[in-house]
Amino acid sequence: MSERPFSQDLNGYSQLIPSGDPINNNANGPTISRKVRSRATKAEMKAMTVEQRTERKKKQNRQNSRKCVQKKNKEITDFEAKNIQLKKDIKQVDMIYDRGRILLLEVYKDKIRPRFHSNPPYGNPYEFDARLSDETNAVSYQIKQRNAPELKELEDKYKSAEQKCNEVEEQTTSKTIVKGTLAGQKCRAKKTLTKAHHEYYSEYLQTCVDEKSAMINVLNKYICDFNSYYLGCEPLEELVVLNNNEPSSRLSHGRARPAAALRHFIS
């Protein structure tokens, strides 16, 4: 999708330097050894019995499975925390938009329209209200269209994980599969399904935030016009009720934030 930064806070990464390689071109400097997975040599594998090789393979599979589950648990926890923040962001932008729209309509009705008598710039208050609805609905639709491909991709990913989970569940009655193997498959399938659900829901919530932020920008455009062209000669005062309720620094998670939200109105 265009305009992405998909808002995770990226942790700094470290790069492991193979043992023996110099740091900063200093051959005498300290080195950091990379953790190497123990791997049997060809001779060692050949010396093992069939049972030993089978047991070694099972042990490695168990370790890989455990690491996979740990990784998915971490990813699920991160998505859960992110979705909690996005829900807070949605409440915040909803509050800013709802209050701002009401105040903008009041300013137009009480301050702008009376100055122009029979020829106000945006018609009567009802016409101006309809104009705002058309413009905010238009930008909301644009955001939905922009985010639709990724949402569809994540939805398909979730449906695929759900189908896989159902297939594993249906194998419960199979007598040809070892119970331990089936339990591991069910665990991994459920983790994958849970992650896919959180990932889709996260993008859905982010789309809601983006939509309302774009709608706030429509209001801000009219605020700038009112202050610059129609009310510029009169003193302005800040709208105190919104001073402490602007979106947090995490709002929109790297995407374009709305301008200072609905700050200036004439009293």
The residue ranges of every structural domain in the chain are: 52-265
pLDDT digits (tens, 9 = 90+) for 43-97: 776 677 878 778 777 787 777 777 877 888 888 889 899 999 999 999 999 999 9
CB-based contact 193:162 (threshold 8 Å): yes
Report the pLDDT value the prediction gives residue 211, as an integer from 0 to 100.
Answer: 96
pTM (2 d.p.): 0.65
Beta bridge partners of 265: 237
Q: What is the pLDDT of residues 3-24, one digit of tens each?
A: 333 233 323 322 222 333 333 4
> 185 or 256: whose pLDDT is higher?
185
Query: What is the reported pLDDT for 10?
Result: 25
Distance CA 194, CA 204 (A): 15
Q: State the distance between the two ends of the chain, measured CA to CA, in whole angstroms.
A: 42
Assign 227 a pLDDT band (cuts: 50, 70, 90): confident
Residue 152 pLDDT more than 50?
A: yes
Q: At what angle do helices 50-107 and 179-225 cross, to 10 degrees?
A: 20
- pLDDT at residue 242 is higher than 70: no
Strand-pairing partners, residue 26, are 23
CA proximity to 161, closest of 130, 184, 193:
193
**What is the Cα–Cα distance from 93 to 216, expressed in whole angstroms?**
8
Q: Is 64 helix (H, G, I), strand (E, B) or coil?
A: helix
For residues 253 and 111, the model is more confident at: 111
pLDDT of residue 128: 94
Residues 263/242, Cβ–Cβ less than 8 Å:
yes
Q: Is the dihedral of CA 33, 34, 39, 42 positive or negative?
A: negative
Can you give the three-state secondary structure of 196-252, one letter per residue?
HHHHHHHHHHHHHHHHHHHHHHHHHHHHHHHHHHHCCCCCCEECHHHHCCCCCCCCC
Average pLDDT along the chain: 74
Between residues 130 and 61, the one the model is more confident about: 130
Nearest 5 degrees, angle CA 254-CA 7-CA 158? 145
Quick one: which of 79, 87, 90, 89 has its CA closest to 199?
79
Percent of the chain residues past pLDDT 70, beyond the cut? 66
Task: Give 6 or 138, the one with higher predicted confidence.
Answer: 138
The DSSP result for 108-123, as a single string, is IIIIIHHHHTT--TT-
Q: List all residues 6 or more positions away from 3 whose beta carbon is below 8 Å from its beta carbon.
A: 146, 255, 256
Instruction: Please state the rounded mean pLDDT for residues 175-204.
Output: 82
**Those residues with Cβ within 8 angstroms of residue 97's Cβ, 6 or more apart along the chain or in another chain:** 212, 215, 216, 219
User: What's the number of CA atoms in the CB half-sphere (13 Å) around residue 225?
Assistant: 12
User: Tokens standing for 28?
Assistant: 């005498």
